[in-house]
Structure 1
Amino acid sequence: MLREVAGIRYVTPLREGGSVPGVVEADDYGTYVVKFTGAAQGRKALIAEVIAGELGRRLELRVPELVRFDFDPVIALGEPDEEIQDLLKASGGLNLGMDFLPGALGFDPLVFGVDPLEASRVVWFDALIGNVDRSWRNPNMLVWHRNVWLIDHGASLIWHHNWKSAAAASAKPYDASDHALARFSPEPAAVAAELAAKVTDELLTEVTALVPDEWLLDEPGFDTPDDVRRAYRELLGARALDIHRRITTGLRQEKQPPPEWLRPWVEGKNAT
């Protein structure tokens, strides 16, 4: 089970995201970006965050820690925005928190460099989870302590919005031509054997077990939460075997040098 914390102070909404997550302090003295069950995207966005995020962590990609976040709307009574208040009032109880990375910068592919091997691993991972939200327009990556961290996986596993057509949707190619890391010459096929070998049924069982039962209840076509978990395992397990053959990476782009003011920081990335 994911570690559980409780909110003690609502700090501010993050209006950049469509789901309007919020920065909230918790009773473990940590600060988290919280995604709420009352958001328009609903509980499936949180399911995708858990499965994709924890799967990424087990593939040794950098994903901030996820926690079960107990939220009492009373702590946010001082929020003046009526729309935000409605969201928070609809989100009492269990939500999802992601460790807040203080001082992190949004990733810009024109500024920050990424090793081709790391780019290959991220593109393969995004293809596995069907992530449609890591383009150069909206990378959903942060640079923290000179490393790239992956965030915001709520738009992944898109097939789970219609389980009747999930198998057919999952079998479609993955277009990575406008992926945020396309310019760094990723070769997902080169890392496929290593990563796919790690995506075992045992690992998928462990990851899907982290999704709270209450987010899986009453799913049309399924009798129990474990039946839904089994469906996720079967799709992801099958996808891991051959997704590298269905990735379109497009034309490689020439790298642009970082701006002068940032060059010493970027060039010092690999300094010891």
Structure 2
Amino acid sequence: MNTPEIPAQSQDSMPADEYKMDPAPDYAPRHPGVGKLRDKVALITGGDSGIGRAISVLFAREGAKIAIAYLEEDRDAKETQRLVEEEGGTCLLISGDLGTKDHCEATVKAVIDEYGQLDVLINNGAQQWLDEDFADLAEDKIDRMIASNIKAYMFTTQAALPYLKKGAAIINTSSINAFAGKGSLITYSMTRGASLAFSRSLAGNLADKGIRVNSVAPGPIWTPFIPGTLPADKVENFGTDTPLGRAGQPWEVATAYLFLASSDGSYYTGQTLHPNGGKVVGA
């Protein structure tokens, strides 16, 4: 697969905006839908852009009704909603801070009020920034990262559990950095390690209820995380250090979530898939 070169660029916000990226991330599904998620309802946090957008569009193509939760990126969220509707689906938009338990509960309630059920929960929303000078990292930044990347996953799952029935799926986004570590992303890597451990532990807790819990640990993927985290010169040619020699695109990661959410992945729980361009890490 040939992908366009990534020029130097940077954004001064986190979460960053997909509509500002050059080239635009590739979210588009590659194959016709066959109804793998027909009559299912999926809540996708961080669904406005990046991997979350690709998941939303792919799930809609496979017949799911979509709800996306995001912080405040309204322009990106409305574009994702439009793309889902182009697939013949419906897309509920829910904005706000999932780092608070009250909002997580309100988000799940909004999904139930709109659709009457919840079958797939994708805990994907997160924040990331460099913390190279770890000794001077401010307490409020650590708290913000933990709220976004750990508490949000736990609170949203707690709110969803009363509505998840046998056959439901929970998929948590982890990262290659949970396995390999990253010296300039210490706090982020810590939180992705937490989402990995959360997935494995919760899988054992819910197995007797017939609810599967898995994770996906992407490598370098061209999403708003990248210009929102790295200085412009570090963004240029992002991902070329992988064995495949390029960054991954969101659509190439979304297929892992579809596999785990659908009956294709019915014998998978407590597992992790690794779309990372060929970097070998621990299981």
Give the TM-score band, short-chain normalised.
under 0.3
**Richer in strand (by share):** 1
Higher relative contact order at CA 8 Å, sep ≥6: structure 1 or structure 2?
A: 2
TM-score, structure 2 length as denominator? Answer: 0.26
TM-score, structure 1 length as denominator? Answer: 0.27
User: Which protein shows a greater Rg?
Assistant: 1
